[in-house]
Amino acid sequence: MENQQAKKIRWGIIGPGRIAVKFAQDLAKVSNCELYGVASRNPEDAIGFARKYNAKVAFNTFEELAKSNEIDAVYIATPHSFHKEHSVLCLQNKKAVLCEKPFAMNAIEVQEMIDAAKENNMLLMEGMWTRFLPHFKYAFDLINTKKYVNIHKLEVDFGFFTPYDLENRVFTKNVGGGSLLDIGVYNIFTALISLGIPNTIEANADFFENGADATCNMVFKYDTLDAFLTCTLTADTATEAIFTCENAIVKINGRFNEPSSVTEIIDGKVETTQFPIDNFGFYFEIEHFNELFRKGKKESDVLPLNLSLDLIETLDKVRNLIGLEY
């Protein structure tokens, strides 16, 4: 049997779009792995991407990539509505899968992905890269180690303005476009890993003319506190996560989901910690995934599949409350 510890992990990418460009550049910085192949709907795009980011092979189809014996792990970076199909294709062909957020369109699809991973005994993880970023880990260490006790309030906003354009995936409803699945997923993730599943949820939304959600406001109600979560595609907002605790305020500065900094405010004293890095931030989830792969793990202990299921089930609940159907 091949020595997994020493093995150079050969990655494939399905969906060579905007985010795959950053992922490929970070992958090149992680030791003992390589970008082996890429597949697109359009073989010409795959050839161009492979040339630019030094992949050995541009596959003609997703199936060819999934069936290749030269590939160990696949990063799925297609629009949300294809995540399940592409993940299951790879899992059934015995590939480890790192699939972008949101993991899929709904909990039924995520459960199918998990079932496929279990049936094929393959590693599967959601590409919730934020969980692995140094500033985010630092903030959660502060919260989870109880340095700052009793969270009284959590406020998370995520907003950016981009002109309404039906050519842009972000607004395209039938591929899961809209604020909730694209960016609100980070707000909900932050609430779940700090406070758990809420007792009840209140939510309202505004919609674009095509029915995709433009803005979604949520209140997650817990026993002793509320979490206020907002996401919007109509305005640039601070995009911060602010924990008001009994003895401090911990602020994950904007954009909180990307490499950033953390500010702690204690008795009016403000201290900001920077986390300089020389990559886009995908480096850290890739390192983690590679380590899981080498150890023969089938899921992450940091980002377990039941957390991804909790996340998509919560997204489903919010969609139900705001009447958003795909």
- Indicate the residue among 160 and 228 with the shorter CB distance to ligand NAP: 160
Site string for ligand NAP, 264-293 (x = CB under 6 A): ------------------------------
DSSP per position, 6-45: TPPEEEEEE--SHHHHHHHHHHTTSTTEEEEEEE-SSHHH
Are 46 and 40 within 8 A, CB to CB? Answer: yes
- Tell me if 322 sits within 8 A of 230, measured CB to CB: no
Indicate whether 42 belongs to the interface with ligand NAP (CB under 6 A). Answer: yes
CB nearer to ligand NAP: give 66 or 142: 66
Give me the DSSP letters along 211-241.
S-EEEEEEEEE-SS-EEEEEEESSS-----E
**Which residues inside 77-136 make contact with ligand NAP, applying CB under 6 A?**
77-80, 82, 100-101, 127, 129
Nearer to ligand NAP, 49 or 220 (CB): 49
For residue 51, what are the contacts with CB-CB under 8 A and spacing of at least 6?
none
Interacting stretch for ligand NAP, rule CB under 6 A, among 37-45, 88-96, 111-119, 298-306?
37-45
Site track for ligand NAP across 156-175, x = CB under 6 A: -------------x------
Contact letters for ligand NAP, residues 180-209 (x by CB under 6 A)? --x---------------------------
CA–CA separation, 145 vs 148, rounded Å?
8
Window contacting ligand NAP (CB under 6 A); options: 18-26, 291-299, 301-309, 311-319:
18-26
For 148-169, give one letter per residue: b (16+ CB within 10 A) or e. Answer: beebeebbbbbbbeeeeeeeeb
Q: Which residues bind to ligand NAP, rule: CB under 6 A?
A: 15-20, 40-42, 45, 77-80, 82, 100-101, 127, 129, 169, 182
